[in-house]
Each structure stands twice: as structure tokens, then as C-alpha cells.
């Protein structure tokens, strides 16, 4: 993985997103030939210092909004394996919002530091992958309202499909 900060390929920033300490956009190492493609999504050699304790997959239908969730001590590495997701990262002090597009076409990964809020909206049907540095229940998770006026997040849909937790 190589770090790409403030790249313009399928990604856009708003509200000082480049100021969220520790947020990194990563491009995976890809090998292509006539058979298809091989992608290394993470290696201790290229992103040292991280110990992942969970590796989760979330499957969402188009128009589903998940989040905004986080935990004070949990680092996440997220990607969109299938489809296209509109991803939002909120700084721990809730003063800065960063926006990203992750998809199966751009293959980008997003490293989200501990304490940040993270949410996504499924622009298409989505398979979303995320590695986490803590076990479930090991860290106190929080949920911030997706439509909190103080955050002023620009979601692509004013009436998304939501879980009870995210309403």
C-alpha cells in the first residue's frame, strides 16, 4: 500500500478534511494479467504498527446509510469490495468532516484513526470491508446522528434507509 493524500481520483474533500490527523487514503498494490487481478489489501511491511483484531464485511443495498459510528481506541481500515460507497469521516472533536468515494473500481482503502466517526452511504449495492484494532465490546462505541445539524454532513440522500440504531 502506498499513501495518497488529497488525491483527486474519485475522492473529494470539504471542510478541511486534510486536517483530520491520521486519516490516510491508501492505494493497494495491484497485479494484473490475462487471468484477472490480484490485490494486496494490507501488509505489515507496508503499513507497520497496526494490529488488527477483527475483520468484518458489511453488505448493504443501494440507499442504505450506516453510521456514524466510532470508538475512542479503535483504528479502522476500510474499503469497498463491491459497488460504490460515499464515505464520511468526522474528526473526534466533530469540527471537521471528510468525504471520500470508495469503490470496487478505484480499490482505495481508508485508514481511520481512533476516535473518529465513520459512516457510509451505499450509492449502489455494496460489500464493505473493515479491519478493526479492537474486539467488539472491548472499546466503548459511540453513534453520532447522521443528520446532526451541528455536523452539517452533505449526504447524497435526505431520506436514506436506516437501522433503528442510526435513526
Burial class of residue 5, CB neighbours in 10 A (0-12, 13-18, 19+): exposed
- Residue 13's pLDDT is 39
Cis peptide upstream of residue 166 (ω within 30 degrees of 0): no
Query: Residue 167 and residue 127: Cα distance in Å, rounded?
Result: 22
- Residue 1's pLDDT is 27
- Residue 41's pLDDT is 83
Q: Which residues of the chain have pLDDT under 50?
A: 1-17
Q: 3-class DSSP state for residue 17? A: helix
Burial class of residue 73, CB neighbours in 10 A (0-12, 13-18, 19+): exposed
Per-residue pLDDT tens for 92-108?
A: 999 999 999 999 999 99
Burial class of residue 71, CB neighbours in 10 A (0-12, 13-18, 19+): buried
- The pTM assigned to this predicted structure is 0.86
- Residue 50's pLDDT is 84
Centroid of chain to Cα 59: 14
Amino acid at each position: 500500500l502506498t499513501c495518497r493524500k488529497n488525491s483527486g481520483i474519485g475522492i473529494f474533500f470539504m471542510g478541511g478534511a486534510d486536517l483530520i490527523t491520521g486519516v490516510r487514503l491508501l492505494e493497494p498494490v495491484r497485479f494484473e494479467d490475462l487471468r484477472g487481478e490480484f490485490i494486496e489489501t494490507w501488509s505489515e511491511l507496508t503499513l507497520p504498527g497496526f494490529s488488527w483484531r477483527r475483520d468484518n464485511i458489511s453488505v448493504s443495498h443501494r440507499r442504505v446509510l450506516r453510521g456514524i459510528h466510532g470508538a475512542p481506541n479503535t483504528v479502522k481500515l476500510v474499503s469497498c469490495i463491491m459497488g460504490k460507497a460515499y464515505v464520511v469521516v468526522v474528526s473526534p472533536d466533530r469540527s471537521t468532516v471528510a468525504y471520500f468515494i470508495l469503490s470496487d473500481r478505484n480499490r482505495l482503502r481508508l485508514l481511520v484513526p481512533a476516535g473518529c466517526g465513520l459512516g457510509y452511504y451505499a450509492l449502489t449495492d455494496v460489500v464493505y470491508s473493515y479491519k478493526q484494532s479492537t474486539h467488539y465490546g472491548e472499546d466503548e462505541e459511540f453513534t453520532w446522528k447522521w443528520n446532526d445539524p451541528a455536523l452539517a454532513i452533505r449526504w447524497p440522500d435526505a431520506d436514506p434507509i436506516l437501522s433503528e440504531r442510526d435513526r
